[in-house]
Amino acid sequence: MPLMKSVVYESLRIEPPVALQYGKAKKDLVIESHDAAFRVKEGEMLFGYQPFATKDPKIFERAEEFVADRFVGDEGEKLLKHVLWQNRKKETKIFRSEG
């Protein structure tokens, strides 16, 4: 099952189902990047292009390649925070454990 999950996550990483995201800042915040930080004021519009994050070579080795086992194991699990973005407070899970 870990490999199957990894393949699904990798598919979503390579081709995000929703490439463009936008929203309004609910409060003042700072968005940190690898090399910079950006101040955002409450009410400002934000726009994001998923592939900039999901294909970031500073995060993902061989970022442009499909690597089936990329998300297997502890190190692979840590990469998920760079793939599954959501704007709700409660975490959304793709897979559900049964049993």
- The pTM of the full predicted model, rounded to 2 decimals, is 0.74
- Digit-coded pLDDT (tens) for 6-51: 999 999 999 998 889 899 999 999 998 889 999 999 999 999 898 9
What's the CA gap between 41 and 47, in Å, rounded?
14
- Digit-coded pLDDT (tens) for 51-74: 998 999 999 999 999 999 999 999
> Any idea where the domains of the chain sit in the sequence?
2-82
The sign one gets for the Cα dihedral 65, 33, 44, 27 is positive
